[in-house]
Amino acid sequence: MVPTPIPQRRRGGRDWQDWLVLLWPAALAVVLVAPLLVRPGHPLARDLVFVPRQPFNDATWGLGEVAPRAVPLDSVVAALTHVVDGGVLARIVLPLLLALLGWGVARLLAPLGRLAQLAGSGFAVWNAYVVERLALGQWALLLACTALPWLVAAAMRWRREGRAVDLAAAVGWSALASLTPTGGLLAVGALVVATAPRTTRLAPAVLAGLALQAPWVAAALTGPGGHVSDGAGVAAFAPDTGSRFGPLVAMLGLGGIWDGYSEPASRTTGLALVAAAVVVLALVAGLRGLRWHWGSGDTVRWVVLAAAPAAVAFAAATGGGQDLLVDLVDTVPGAGLLRDTQKLLAPAVVLVSVAFGAAAARLWRAVPVGDARPVAALVLAALPVVVLPDATLQTWPTVSPVRFPADLTRVADRLAGEPGVVVTLPWRAYRAYDWTRPGQTASDPAVRMFDADVVTSDSLQVGQVLVPGESTLAAQIGQALEAGPPAEVLPGLGVAWVVVYPDDREAGQLDLTGLEPVVEGEHAALYRVPDAVVSPSGEQGSRALAVWAAHLLALLVATAAVGARVATRKSARRERDADLRVM
């Protein structure tokens, strides 16, 4: 069966229904991030960290000791913040990526009509997965979810029709997804599923997709220690929920994140069962209708793409599945990416959203023509919001911007380009600040704000479990700090600078004897470590060249794909205009 083509918009422009399809997911996106758009400052909460200007340093390229989980994302953000302030960038990126996710789902649903597009696009933006990940600050993971509907649709067109423009589109969207390793793996998997079994279509798409993974792969392979993670993190990051219905029901409703603080309170009530039922019914009713428009082959491909990673997430909620993952994480470098398996529901979010739109259209058509139809349309479009009424209670605290204190800016200016390792104290990965939202913790902004080699603790406290980090140097520094004062134990480890956050609850316990004050402030203070043994700069050598070459390769592939896509669209537009003049 040949998939139904997307109806072409008439040349006269969009009608009000077209605008409604565009505006509905955009409006929901704006609501989810509203505080960011109406208040000054920069977002700093949980994993969501945007600084005014992110410098290019070793950590940006993935040349540090920790696993390159934000490669090549950090280099892209650093480049963009050299053009616009990081606060402006956040205000553009966060609502846009959510709206793009909705628009991508709406495009897939175009053959089924406007109601299907409204319902499906709204569901894509307003669901437990998106809300929980946004509440945790993991916006880059949502970039991968955003790219998937566009990526898969283009890759499937490439498989069927063999047009270079579709290959370029698929690779371009893969580049967006591949800004993080998890997104990159999902993108490559999507390319394989969407283009198989036609080898002539699969090979160029997958090769380009693999080339886009070069930055983080090169950083991981050339890094110290092989980045083997601690298997203790598997249980800590396993799908979980405070709901009495358990993690399986939570994941059926597209929730179940390991972090209880990111879980909406409504998911601990009977609404969790309602959400799971909505997903199951949408899949049952929607997929049947989608077969008529996608064809059996493409429908099966979408199901495989969503079900395979979802099966890993569901397995991690069982004892046997966790045991297998522990063995994998303990022995295979890079397998630490699989500790948080609930994030693998991203493809399922897209499929369920499309199925929900298809099911909504099918249900609406069953309503007799009359006054009840507009009411039914409104109810179906608003159902995702009704099922998850407290979404903003989770997202707003995370996206609410803060003002960085002048002390921190002074420290950043003083450290710019200075040699030696910088350590932030008290020693922890996440901390609360007096100048941020009360009770809110955030990843240390020094890592992205300072143009220096900043080392923080990479061990994570998850409930009662301390998940060990991967950096050998961070572990050595942590052990040294337990053994004695910083001035005595840090010089031999190459630590030349110590940044102290005086407003931290444990700052009063620090022994700063022997450290030389350089910048003193209420919220941040900088000390020099006397007699620090600083390694000469430029020691990365061949590793740096390999990682930079990998970044260049990915940049060339992404640029070529986007350039080819733009050039082809311009050529097609000129041909269409010429035909209209002839007519």
Does some domain include residue 74? yes
The answer to whether 408 and 449 have CB atoms below 8 angstroms apart is yes
Q: Residue 138 corresponds to which amino acid?
A: Q
Distance in angstroms (rounded) separating the CA atoms of residues 132 and 261: 9
Does residue 445 sit within a domain?
Answer: yes
Shared domain check, 344 and 252? yes
Q: Is residue 508 part of a domain?
A: yes
Residue 473 lies in a domain: yes
Whether residue 11 is contained in a domain is answered as no
Alpha helices in 388-429 (DSSP H): 391-399, 406-415
Specify if 262 maps to a domain: yes
How far is 64 from 119, CA to CA, in rounded Å?
Answer: 44
Host domain of residue 96: 16-57+64-392
Question: Does residue 538 form part of some domain?
Answer: no
Query: Which pLDDT value is given to residue 415?
Result: 97
Residues 420 and 493 in one domain: yes
Q: What is the pTM of this model?
A: 0.94
Domain edge (last residue) among 392, 416, 448: 392
Where among 326, 359, 392 does a domain terminate? 392
Q: Both 364 and 414 in a single domain? A: no
The crossing angle, in degrees rounded to 10, of helices 346-365 and 372-387 is 160
Query: Is 384 part of any domain?
Result: yes
Measured distance CA(208)–CA(211) in Å, rounded: 5
Domain identity same for 113 and 180: yes
Asked if 306 and 328 sit in the same domain, the reply is yes
* Shared-domain flag, residues 464 and 488: yes
User: Do 186 and 208 fall into the same domain?
Assistant: yes
**Which pLDDT score is estimated for 464?**
77
- Of 336, 365, 392, which residue constitutes the final position of a domain? 392
Q: What is the C-alpha separation between 106 and 430, in angstroms, rounded?
A: 38
Indicate if 369 and 451 belong to the same structural domain. no
Domain count for the chain, please give it. Answer: 2
Angle at 374 between CA 369 and CA 378, to 5 degrees: 140
Do 75 and 173 have their domain in common? Answer: yes
pLDDT the model gives residue 227: 61
Please report the sign of the dihedral spanned by the C-alpha atoms of residue 302, residue 306, residue 307, residue 308: positive
Chunked in runs of 10, what are the mean pLDDT values of the chain (583 residues)? Answer: 53 77 98 98 98 95 88 98 98 99 98 96 99 98 98 98 96 98 98 96 98 96 73 85 84 95 94 98 95 94 98 93 90 84 98 98 88 90 98 98 97 94 95 90 95 92 82 93 96 96 93 97 97 74 94 98 85 51 43
Same-domain pairing of 310 and 453: no
Same domain for 432 and 373 = no
381 and 475 together in one domain: no
